[in-house]
Structure 1
Amino acid sequence: MSSSIAYINGNVFTVNDQQLRAEAFIVSENGIFTAVGSTAKVAAKAKTEHMVIHDLRGQFIMPGIHDAHCHMLMSAIAMTSYAALPGVVSNDNLIEELKNGSCACKYAHTNQDWIMGSGYAIPEYDRKVLDAEYPDTPVMIRGGAGHGVFLNTEAMKRSGYDIAAEPDGQGTCFLRDNRGHLTGEMAENSLSKAILAVPKAPASHAKRVMKEAQKMLHAAGVTSIQEASANTAFLDVTRELEQEQSLKLEIFPHIVYAPDWIGEEPTSSLHALLDNAEKYRSKHVDTRFVKIILDGVPLPPYYSHAALQEDGRAQQHKLFITNVHDAVQKYDERGMTMKIHCTGQGATRLTLDAFEAARKRNPGGPRHEIAHCSGVHDDDYARFRSLDVTAEMSPAFFFVHPVTESSGGLMDWNFAKMAKAGAHVTIGSDWGAGASPDILPCLQGIIDQVGQGDKQLGGERICRMLTLAGAEAIGREKELGSIEAGKKANFIAVSQDLSKGDFDGAKILKTWFEGEMVYEFQ
């Protein structure tokens, strides 16, 4: 009797242009698709070889989702160890919300006394609001889509800030009172001291919460991710999970080059990690990837994105690093893919210039990425294709959102212009800035853009962006991203036919990773 399993009577969207639709397929014992085709042919083969047969009963099946931008460990820690606050918290009810946060707010597993929370914004914040209740306990609340924090006085002291005379620096954003003193709200490169001072979760806790995060990703239909802020803790945990054979995701960690606050460890340590990335490679973890955050976010009150100046150059004081050309050249020559965060048109153009310079020096180098792509000048769309740069669109939950609509055009995820330019496009949740890794609810609003008015064409193109385009972006399209013989059997069952553009209300019913069912909707 064969150990393979035959799946029949499905509505299978393969994302394989040579055979876009199918009804059935066979998965081998070691989790590989070995045949794809009609129910009649697959069932006949299954009967001849005495296979187990699984009747899909008409369910919509497609390849597993590739999340092109995910902060897995950061999200896992926040879910378990931070007080979850509303999107906007007033000064009047901040203490009450912090005490009633839905997660345990004491960082108890570190034997430290910091209190952590996460929210979006606190209007006109002043550290004195927290000082009255927590005069001796450091408190940090992360907000601003992950780019800002709110600290009380004790947290600022322990982090080493000079409240009366902290100097500005490259890419910093300190909010100050009428005396010039720090209010406790800060963003971007101003975060470094605070983020590095916060006690880190022990490895045992990180491992525990990463398993929970993996379950959440499976429930969202995700079978592969690009981790967008990989550090030593993340790679240590994934190595442990791999060794005990409990890692059920393909992970492509972008190890942080800069700034240090997104990597949550010193720059020297992060650069050493990049130099030794190869030793962390394993069956499901490929470490040929680098991350840089070049500018901030086009959100109030920071507006820390690097826009274009009249001379066509990026606003220099908004950039987080000034050596992006050198960094791109260094890792391009090593064959490592760069993911560079850009939200302003100036940062995007500067990054495209750096990629162009690297490609002239090294014509056969890797395909690089610009993360977010919410600020692209009309003159630069065509450069994505000519330079073979991936337009990684994220965070998905902002594609159609009141904040996006009220941004005055500063946030523009323009799928239509990217499609017209022939750019290679992927989609990411940016989980870490949002509450869930589920991408599907965010996609109905972009169907018309992607399909140019054709709902089915839009659905098919989005399904490709979520799957094969992601595999192509990380150079693994021969193994992942579509349902075809010879590839890994990572696939999902969905309640609605996404290939016809039916994203609204769609639910993930089942997720398989290498032929093993790792999630089933209850």
Structure 2
Amino acid sequence: MTADLVVTGGRIWTQDPRQPWAEALAVRDGVLVAVGTAAEIARLAGPDTTIRDVAGAMVMPGLVDGHVHLNLGGSQAAFELPLLPTDDLPTILGKVRRWAGDLDAGAWVVGGIVGSTVLDGLTDAGFLAQLDEAAGGRPVLLRDDSMHNRWVGSRTLEAMGVDADTPDPDGGHYVRDRAGRLTGVLHESAAAQAESAFARSIADPQARTAAAVRTAIEVLNGYGVTSAQEAATMLGPATALHALEEAGELNARVVLSAPVRPFLEDGIVGEELIERLAGLRGDLVRPDFVKIVLDGVPMTRTTALLSPYRCHHGEKPFRGELYWTLDELVAQLNRCAELGLGAKLHATGDASVRLVLDAAEVLRRKTGSDIRLQIAHTEFVHPDDVARFGELAVVADLSPYIWYPGVLQDSIAAQVEQDLVDSSWPVRDLVDAHALVAAGSDWPCAAPTPDPWTGLETLVTRRNPDERFPGTLNPGQALTVAEAIAAFTTNPAEAMGLGGVTGRLAPGYAADFLVLDRILFDIDPGDIHATAVEQTYFAGRLVHERKPSRS
């Protein structure tokens, strides 16, 4: 059989335990037909075969992002005011002022990421006045690094129908100062109301969503990502992905996760959404999961913990609240099993993680169901529960971009007892307990890009590559480089139901692979974050090529 494409002359890391390294690979019709020595693969080349000599470069499987928000991330990249989580308040206000000055009449100022440490300090209505002034009276919506909270201006509050006397919504909070005045900070479901108000202002929401999703895929390809799990998929983004696939223009495999209850974006949820997404299924777009949110985020004390939060202002000990009971969760997972769907479960606290494991145990024991279950953001896990991940075949869906010392961790440490922070993200223990550990970016949460190389480095070093944030976080939980690569390739592919399709370079697998500018195993792990992807191939097609740097 003659190959369409031969890649040779490199060091190929296959992620195939039977043959970890190879010299060359051959592709036909988007599928790998052979991986082996240069001599073996050369025999598959014909007169029409494209030969790519990578001149000693490292080749590896395309990366798999197990947790990403394509519409939010793509919208941020394509349309919105870029803010860094390290920006202080004067910098944010300055960027808002400049951005607002370039907008058309009536346009909103929308952007992110506002660091949690900044949001924590917006405790007075005077900050709302500063935001209004910077925006020139325009409606403003700024997202935080958790994507659970927002900072909005007075015009936005008006569009939401919210004033100083409006009671808090269920599952949310309009933050007020000591005098009862609104600060513009919104928590949880209150943030969803702001997003709905902004959505109503968009003249052609489907066109915007289509552009956002297309941009998100291009960004992911640029970082070497060829497959992803959309972590909370609404109908608009799913429709856009389906349209791209129908047009032959979707350069990634995307697994969808349908929220079963209202979350942070407007639109239908639950069984109606599940049914609509099922009609969009294709070879690349796979609506195979639901999304279940068990709690919130520790920065706003909405994470459910087994031990109390730090107390403030004489408050009684508080552990957060669970959004589901055990019976409710078991019933939902049973319904998932009936529908043949997996579940991605947002659980950021050790109490919510335990609830998921308890429900998984009931599901496995009573029904024998083997549906895929993922716990997203396994930040805090009680030691007694670590082994249960492997025993119950529950995936640890991690976002290593979040845990390294930095702005987000500073805000978390202000709310959560230090011993819990010090024991967070127990990745080494999970791997040793035979849990499937899968990494994802959670873009656009925490970081302005879905850069996987930063996250991969952090799994190994437990340090922030940014020297402004010294120290390590729970360093005994570090992984090896090979284990970290697995967390970004084979593991999330398996967790998403794509384990037989992508994530490794072996005959019969999709020809999703990367050419890198360095050999990851030969460099200081502290330099992994600087890795650049020279080329990204998806199904044997070149979908990204790095532009030459200007000298």
Q: TM-score over 0.5 for the alignment?
A: yes
Q: Quote the offset at 1:410 in angstroms.
A: 3.3
Paired residues of 2:59 and 2:515 also in contact (CA < 8 A): yes
Residue in structure 2 matching 1:513, options 538, 542, 545: 538
Paired residues of 1:315 and 1:346 also in contact (CA < 8 A): no
Structure 1 Cα separation of the partners of residues 71 and 392 of structure 2: 32
Paired residues of 1:333 and 1:362 also in contact (CA < 8 A): no
Secondary structure (helix, strand or coil) at the match of 1:15 reads coil
Relative to the length of structure 2, the TM-score reads 0.84
Residue in structure 1 matching 2:480, options 434, 454, 458: 458
Paired residues of 1:161 and 1:193 also in contact (CA < 8 A): no
Question: Against the structure 1 CA distance between its residues 509 and 181, is the aligned structure 2 distance closer, same or farther, given a 3 Å change threshold?
Answer: same
Paired residues of 2:97 and 2:136 also in contact (CA < 8 A): no
Paired residues of 2:233 and 2:259 also in contact (CA < 8 A): yes
Question: Against the structure 1 CA distance between its residues 189 and 27, is the aligned structure 2 distance closer, same or farther, given a 3 Å change threshold?
Answer: same
1:372 aligns with 2:372: no
Per the alignment, residue 290 of structure 1 pairs with 290
**Aligned partner of 2:139: which letter?**
P
Residue in structure 2 matching 1:446, options 459, 462, 482: 459
Secondary structure (helix, strand or coil) at the match of 2:151 reads strand
Per the alignment, residue 64 of structure 1 pairs with 62
Secondary structure (helix, strand or coil) at the match of 1:155 reads helix
Residue in structure 1 matching 2:52, options 35, 51, 54: 54
1:350 aligns with 2:363: no
Paired residues of 1:5 and 1:52 also in contact (CA < 8 A): yes
Paired residues of 1:131 and 1:152 also in contact (CA < 8 A): yes
Question: Against the structure 1 CA distance between its residues 377 and 41, is the aligned structure 2 distance closer, same or farther, given a 3 Å change threshold?
Answer: same
Per the alignment, residue 410 of structure 1 pairs with 421
Structure 1 Cα separation of the partners of residues 60 and 86 of structure 2: 37
Structure 2 Cα separation of the partners of residues 442 and 46 of structure 1: 37
The equivalences for 1:154-303 within 5 A come to 154-167=155-168, 169=170, 171-199=171-199, 200=202, 202-261=205-264, 264-266=265-267, 268-299=268-299, 302-303=300-301
Paired residues of 2:403 and 2:409 also in contact (CA < 8 A): no
Deviates more, 1:424-433 or 1:126-135: 126-135
Question: Against the structure 1 CA distance between its residues 259 and 105, is the aligned structure 2 distance closer, same or farther, given a 3 Å change threshold?
Answer: farther
Deviates more, 1:400-409 or 1:504-513: 400-409
Q: Quote the offset at 1:187 in angstroms.
A: 1.1
Relative to the length of structure 1, the TM-score reads 0.88
Paired residues of 2:9 and 2:56 also in contact (CA < 8 A): yes
Residue in structure 2 matching 1:420, options 424, 432, 435: 432
Paired residues of 1:165 and 1:181 also in contact (CA < 8 A): no
Residue in structure 2 matching 1:480, options 502, 518, 522: 502
Question: Against the structure 1 CA distance between its residues 238 and 45, is the aligned structure 2 distance closer, same or farther, given a 3 Å change threshold?
Answer: closer
Question: Against the structure 1 CA distance between its residues 185 and 52, is the aligned structure 2 distance closer, same or farther, given a 3 Å change threshold?
Answer: closer
Per the alignment, residue 337 of structure 1 pairs with 342
Paired residues of 2:62 and 2:503 also in contact (CA < 8 A): yes
Q: Quote the offset at 1:305 in angstroms.
A: 1.2
Question: What's the RMSD between the two structures over aligned residues?
Answer: 2.9
Q: Quote the offset at 1:73 in angstroms.
A: 1.2
Deviates more, 1:75-84 or 1:65-74: 75-84
Residue in structure 1 matching 2:512, options 484, 490, 493: 490
Question: Against the structure 1 CA distance between its residues 82 and 309, is the aligned structure 2 distance closer, same or farther, given a 3 Å change threshold?
Answer: same
Paired residues of 2:66 and 2:397 also in contact (CA < 8 A): yes
Residue in structure 1 matching 2:94, options 93, 96, 99: 96
Structure 1 Cα separation of the partners of residues 135 and 518 of structure 2: 50
**Aligned partner of 2:375: which letter?**
I
Q: Quote the offset at 1:449 in angstroms.
A: 7.5
Paired residues of 1:85 and 1:98 also in contact (CA < 8 A): no
Structure 2 Cα separation of the partners of residues 51 and 203 of structure 1: 41
Secondary structure (helix, strand or coil) at the match of 1:27 reads strand
Residue in structure 1 matching 2:111, options 71, 94, 117: 117
Per the alignment, residue 322 of structure 2 pairs with 319
Q: Quote the offset at 1:90 in angstroms.
A: 5.5
Structure 2 Cα separation of the partners of residues 469 and 479 of structure 1: 12
Structure 2 Cα separation of the partners of residues 50 and 453 of structure 1: 52
Q: Quote the offset at 1:318 in angstroms.
A: 2.8
Q: Quote the offset at 1:8 in angstroms.
A: 1.8
Stretches of structure 1 lacking an aligned partner (at least 5 in a row): none
**Aligned partner of 1:4: which letter?**
D
Per the alignment, residue 44 of structure 1 pairs with 43
Deviates more, 1:112-121 or 1:341-350: 112-121
Per the alignment, residue 311 of structure 2 pairs with none
Deviates more, 1:199-208 or 1:360-369: 199-208
Question: Against the structure 1 CA distance between its residues 183 and 358, is the aligned structure 2 distance closer, same or farther, given a 3 Å change threshold?
Answer: same
Structure 2 Cα separation of the partners of residues 226 and 112 of structure 1: 35
Structure 1 Cα separation of the partners of residues 234 and 13 of structure 2: 36
Stretches of structure 2 lacking an aligned partner (at least 5 in a row): 309-316, 464-474
Paired residues of 2:303 and 2:320 also in contact (CA < 8 A): no
Question: Against the structure 1 CA distance between its residues 418 and 240, is the aligned structure 2 distance closer, same or farther, given a 3 Å change threshold?
Answer: same
Structure 2 Cα separation of the partners of residues 438 and 88 of structure 1: 17
**Aligned partner of 1:481: which letter?**
G
Paired residues of 2:26 and 2:44 also in contact (CA < 8 A): no
Structure 2 Cα separation of the partners of residues 355 and 454 of structure 1: 25
1:429 aligns with 2:428: no
**Aligned partner of 2:440: which letter?**
G
Q: Quote the offset at 1:446 in angstroms.
A: 2.8
After superposition, the C-alpha distances for 1:75-94 in whole angstroms (9 at most, x for unaligned) are 11122332223435655565
After superposition, the C-alpha distances for 1:17-53 in whole angstroms (9 at most, x for unaligned) are 111111111100x111001111111113426x87443
Deviates more, 1:227-236 or 1:187-196: 187-196
Structure 2 Cα separation of the partners of residues 476 and 117 of structure 1: 33
After superposition, the C-alpha distances for 1:204-256 in whole angstroms (9 at most, x for unaligned) are 23222322222211110000000112101111101111111110100001122
Q: Quote the offset at 1:190 in angstroms.
A: 2.5
Question: Against the structure 1 CA distance between its residues 404 and 380, is the aligned structure 2 distance closer, same or farther, given a 3 Å change threshold?
Answer: farther
After superposition, the C-alpha distances for 1:268-300 in whole angstroms (9 at most, x for unaligned) are 44541113321010121000111122222222x
Tell me the number of residue pairs that the alignment of Structure 1 and Structure 2 aligns.
504
Q: Quote the offset at 1:180 in angstroms.
A: 3.0
Paired residues of 1:329 and 1:358 also in contact (CA < 8 A): yes
Paired residues of 2:305 and 2:319 also in contact (CA < 8 A): no
Deviates more, 1:158-167 or 1:465-474: 158-167
